[in-house]
A and B are shown apart, each in its own frame.
Chain A
């Protein structure tokens, strides 16, 4: 049994979550965590089953979970937490069917694989420009110089944000990232980011209602016209695009780059045929060190799982990081193998809530890894002392300094 302190936020679990969640998967795959009052699910087949049974596991987490924030926040910030709850609750992903389906239909068409493929040239150009800016230095922080600006450039373009406003949007995006952190005083920057988004996006929505374009805010404004979204929901879901498409992509790009650097033989293999291998290699990056570690649900009813009873309204977190290394689903799961196929990882979840931006994330990952291999074949990490954000949701490096000659 698990004997050590059952704390998912200790320094060693944050630094390397795989041994801790891997042991849970082998010893107690449906595990009750006393400390945080939640179920921890770690097997691949269980995660797939749960994601495909959305009617049993509610996504309306912020609306339905009356328990306090975790890790704990400053008592003086409880009012701010209420603001955060009300804000988050209006995201379309924080809804169950039937409302979720009507909301998703509005935004889904914008993100089809074919539509996202048309963004590839824009992504290639943006990657090229970011690497041009770094090239002469001989070194960069992948986090600061590539992985953070790239998704904001793409999302700002999707939102139809004028170039002059991009630094402001980027600042707001960085405040929104506090949603996944563990600091006790995180509510203040987070609510500043949320309110800042509302203030910034509201006039854009007014304008798109009169003059709709082919941008994402216009898509949401259409939803308001049709009565599917309230104005607050339009604003919150614009933030959601910025949040969900930002941190996750950063993590894919940084964690993937680091995986290549730590496996020189795979990097050498990739450099031999970046174009041909980019697709499978990106899938393996998504599996091996997934951008999102875990996802939360609330039990919609009592559910039996592996001899245990998850009670209605219990908190549940399934761990993508553990499921993606389940030996029952993957041969040699601890091995980083960029030719792995098939690769049924659950980095984007599955079922009706499968990640809306999955194809865009794939395009960004493929283009970044290709460009790095082609332009900086001698790429290497400059330090072994890498740190991760203290988040239970995101697998986020704090920085990733690399160099080339």
Chain B
């Protein structure tokens, strides 16, 4: 079974570019301010979530192993 992840979006940084939502729509959704929220860290594969994080133009997405707390991105 895949490990569970903790995914957070830093709203000081997020500019609402929405590439994360385009790449992993079950995980990320824009809120009323048009900034991204991680609504379901189990909504897609780890690979896809890391791809979304990597494609954030302002590196606002933080991904960690939920059990160990190990930083997976950035």
Contact = CB atoms under 8 A, between A and B. Distances in A.
**A and B are partners in one complex rather than unrelated chains:** yes
A23 to B, nearest CB: 28
B54 A105 contact: no
Contact of A351 (B34, B54, B55, B59): B34
A358 interface: yes
Interface stretch (A7-15, A108-116, A222-230, A371-379): A108-116
A114 B18 CA distance: 18
A112 B55 contact: yes
A52 interface: yes
A320 to B, nearest CB: 14
Interface residues of B, number: 16
What is the predominant secondary structure among interface residues of chain B facing chain A? loop
A52 B34 contact: yes
B66 interface: no
A352 B55 contact: no
B59 A113 contact: yes
Interface string B38-74: 0000000000000000111111000000000000001
A351 B17 contact: yes
Contact of B34 (A53, A114, A356): A53
A354 interface: yes
Interface string A57-82: 00000000000000000000000000
Q: What size tier do the contact residues of chain A reach?
A: 20 to 34
A354 B54 contact: no
Interface in A82-105: 101, 104-105
Contacts of A350: 15-17
A162 interface: no
A74 B50 CA distance: 52
A5 interface: no
Identify the interface centre among A51, A348, A354, A359: most chain B CB within 10 Å of its CB: A354
Contacts of B19: 104-105, 108
Given A52-B16, A350-B15, A351-B15, A108 B55 contact: yes
Nearest to B51: A109
B45 to A, nearest CB: 18
A203 interface: no
Contact of B57 (A51, A101, A105, A112): A112
A292 to B, nearest CB: 15
A276 interface: no
Contacts of A351: 15-18, 34
B17 A101 contact: no
Interface in A321-353: 342, 344, 348-352
A111 B57 CA distance: 8
A351 B54 CA distance: 17
Interface string A224-260: 0000000000000000000000000000000000000
Contacts of A112: 54-55, 57
A52 B19 CA distance: 13
B54 A114 contact: yes
A28 to B, nearest CB: 25
Interface of A: 51-53, 101, 104-105, 108-109, 111-114, 342, 344, 348-352, 354, 356, 358-359
5 contacts: A104-B19, A108-B57, A113-B57, A351-B18, A352-B18
Interface of B: 12, 15-19, 22, 33-34, 54-59, 74
Given A108-B19, A349-B15, A359-B57, 7 more contacts: A51-B16, A53-B34, A109-B55, A113-B57, A114-B54, A344-B12, A352-B17
